[in-house]
Every structure is written in C-alpha cells, then in structure tokens.
Amino acid sequence: MADSLGAVASEEVAAVAVVSSSLDKVKIFNREINYIKSEKYKEYLKNIIPLIPDYFFHVGASSTGKYHPKFSNGEGGLLKHTKVAVRIAYEILNNYALNKFTEEEKDAILVAILLHDSLKHGYIDEGYTRFEHPNIASEFILKNKFNLDDEELNLISELIKTHMGPWTKDKLGNKVLEYPKTDMQKFVHMCDYLSSKKFLNVEFSGDDILY
Ligand SMILES: [Fe+2]
C-alpha cells in the first residue's frame, strides 16, 4: 500500500514540476519570506514555492465558502487564508510573553504554515478539498529536499501533517490524519484554525494584508 502510494506521489510531483506558469509565486510571498530570519529557510522557500500548483493562487479557501471568513472566499481566497495564518503566527512569535520557541523553531513554524495548504485540492486541481491534503503536502515536502537536511525536512513535514488538529477522521470515520502532539505542531494548527474563523475580517490590498 505504502509503495503504491509512493509511486503515485512521485508521478504527481513530476506533474507539479512540469506546470509552467507566468505567476511570480515567490514574489507573491515576498513579505512572508521576509518574516523568516534564516537564510537557509528563505532559500528553501524560494526553491519550493515555484512548485506549488497554480490553482493554489486562485481558488477559495473552502470549496463551499461556508466555513471560512469573507476575505478567504473566491479568487485568491486560499492564498489569503495562508497569508493570514502566517501573519497570526508572526505576530504571536514576535511577542516573547506568548511563546518560548527558539529562532530556528519560529522559522520552521512560519515555513510550515506558508506551505500547509499548498496541495489542498491535490497535485492537480480536483475542484474540491482533499481531506488528506496535510498528508499530500507533507509527502511533497519530503520529496523536495532542496537545501534542507533530513531533520529540518522531517520537522516541516510533520508540522504540516498535523495541521488539522482534532479533525483527523474522514467522512467515513477513518482516522487518516495525525493528531498534533508537540507545542510546535499545536501552534501551527492554532494559526490555521484562527485564520479560518468566520468572525475575522482582514483587509487586503491586492494579494497583501493591508496593515
Ligand atoms: Fe489552512
């Protein structure tokens, strides 16, 4: 089972690599990349962001629009949801009364949040949220190592894998996702969770948060 899944995943990764696009994906995430202190993680993001499928930059954050705030519905909604989650993390991580993460852990958290929903509809847009998208993105991370060492890669991959928090079971009641255990994993989930709360209203100017 694991082998056949692996084979599918590598074909799909190849499919991502052949998607060419006129979108300057790295530029779209310029502000978020600049929240990261380590040159290594910045470099990594500049390599992996171009592999994010084009649809990520266009689709809404949820297929129905029912469960996310207004700013994340419609064109560019998933991108905006991601940017708000990164911003929530950045603000809390900058307040030393609110967290005790090391600088390297903070960077890993920001990288993971930026990439957490990058394959929300699968490698190629399937038109709806793939429930197991945390596992798909986590696999994608492991297959695109670039300049990271194994420990860094596994850390990012695990942070992404557990980002759905308590929602680990699919419609049939099968447990397909992993529950967050570490403080870093819970933090990633918290930022994603807050960014998806319907009562939130965040103003955007183009692709960027206004303030
Ligand atoms: Fe998310």
A 10 A CB-CB count for 183 gives: 13
Instruction: Tell me what the mean pLDDT of segment 31-57 comes to.
Output: 98
Residue 127's DSSP bridge partners are none
pLDDT at 2 exceeding the cut of 60: no
Place 64 in a pLDDT band, splitting at 50, 70 and 90. confident
Instruction: Tell me what the mean pLDDT of segment 32-55 comes to.
Output: 98
- Distance (angstroms) between ligand 1 centre and the Cα of 148 equals 23
Q: So what's the pLDDT on residue 66?
A: 77
pLDDT at 12 exceeding the cut of 60: no
* Cα–Cα distance, 30 to 202 (Å, whole number): 19
Instruction: Read off the tokens for 155.
Output: 């850390």
Judged by average pLDDT, the poorest of 8-17, 51-60, 68-77, 186-195 is 8-17
Instruction: Please report, for residues 44, 46, 47, 75, 109, the alpha-carbon distance to residue 147 in angstroms, rounded to integers and kept in the order given.
Output: 6, 11, 9, 32, 17
Domain extent for 163: 2-209
Break the chain down into helix, strand, coil percent, rounded to 5.
Answer: 55, 5, 45
Backbone angles phi, psi at 175, to 5 degrees: -80, 105
- Distance (angstroms) between ligand 1 centre and the Cα of 56 equals 12
- Distance (angstroms) between ligand 1 centre and the Cα of 112 equals 11
Query: Percent of the chain scored above 70 by pLDDT?
Result: 90
- Distance (angstroms) between ligand 1 centre and the Cα of 80 equals 10
Q: So what's the pLDDT on residue 144?
A: 97
Q: So what's the pLDDT on residue 63?
A: 77
Instruction: Read off the tokens for 182.
Output: 């570490």
State pLDDT tens for residues 68-108.
Answer: 899 999 999 999 999 999 999 999 999 999 999 999 999 99
SS3 165: coil
- Distance (angstroms) between ligand 1 centre and the Cα of 96 equals 25
pLDDT at 112 exceeding the cut of 60: yes
> To which residue do tokens 């502000």 refer?
31
pLDDT at 13 exceeding the cut of 70: no
* Cα–Cα distance, 206 to 211 (Å, whole number): 12
State pLDDT tens for residues 167-209.
Answer: 999 999 999 999 999 999 999 999 999 999 999 999 999 999 9
Backbone angles phi, psi at 170, to 5 degrees: -75, 180
* Cα–Cα distance, 49 to 116 (Å, whole number): 12
- Distance (angstroms) between ligand 1 centre and the Cα of 203 equals 18
**pTM summary value:** 0.90
* Cα–Cα distance, 93 to 158 (Å, whole number): 19
Task: Tell me the pLDDT of the chain averaged across its residues.
Answer: 91
* DSSP secondary structure, 19-78, as one string: ---S--HHHHTHHHHTT---HHHHHHHHHHGGGS-GGGGTS-SSSSSSSS-GGGSSTTHH
Structural domain count of the chain: 1
